[in-house]
Structure 1
């Protein structure tokens, strides 16, 4: 199974503020939907709570939480990364969609990174992506820079594959 981390990071590896993403970039949100639809996704409880309409449609939603009693509509629950991997053993691909602690947990297990680099530093960030050791990864593809028409932010994509 491919374990793919998909993330949008700013120039300081920041990913969030007050349990929400730093920016809404229309093209990136469309790309996220296109790539993750039809696949399993795993997220932390706080990331789930930040979703405006709950579980994402046309995806297998798995929420990783310490609370063994928690039940969320449209979601399967897990308490460890190992449990998530076991739940998804018959899936071709698992997308890790955040937040910070979940990214940190899955970084050693991931074999692909799909990174949206936002070419900006957000001052108010309170959640970060773990450091990326680029020696462990091969560049598969780069795209951009592009500019979001609504907010003027410039961004680019990086697709990395873990070295064998």
Structure 2
């Protein structure tokens, strides 16, 4: 599973239930990277983004929502596993929110974090990857925004 997040200098990813900010270059990279893939996310993230064309959305929620060919809900890891088995030929991206990332943290093999050079006052933080991952590369994608690529250390 590949983690995709945007975070500020403090590791904040959300404020008042919404992503802290949007950067056009980051959105373009997100769209290109996830095209044809499977997006795993929490209910709040799904409510903010909705279904994205050309992608399967697997939504972690205690209560089921309206499903379609491209949107499925799960409340347990066994349900998630069943959904993922149906899409075994597609890349899987974990895209938030914080609760879902914490719950599925051990499944993450690599991460692309767009780090913005500002403080947003966001109260929801991403996990610190440094203990379990190695920073593989850092690429400037826009003024004040660097995409970090992290790879899980050998287990």
Shared fold by TM > 0.5?
yes
5+ residue gaps, structure 2, are: none
Deviation at 1:41, TM superposition (A): 0.5
Q: Would you say the 8 A contact 1:42–1:61 is kept in 2?
A: yes
The residue matched to 1:88 in structure 2 has which SS? helix
Find out whether 1:146 has 2:142 as its counterpart: yes
Between the aligned partners of 1:10 and 1:131, the Cα distance in structure 2 is 13
Aligned to 1:151: none
Within 5 Å, which residues of 2 pair with 1:33-52? 33-51=31-49
1:131 pairs with one of 128, 131, 140:
128
1:59 pairs with one of 49, 55, 58:
55
Please give the TM-score of this superposition, normalised by the length of structure 1.
0.85
Deviation at 1:72, TM superposition (A): 4.5
Please give the TM-score of this superposition, normalised by the length of structure 2.
0.89
Give the 4+ runs in structure 1 shifted more than 6 A: none
Between the aligned partners of 2:117 and 2:94, the Cα distance in structure 1 is 22
**CA RMSD, aligned part only?**
1.6
Find out whether 1:4 has 2:6 as its counterpart: no
5+ residue gaps, structure 1, are: 148-153
Deviation at 1:70, TM superposition (A): 2.5
Aligned length: 151
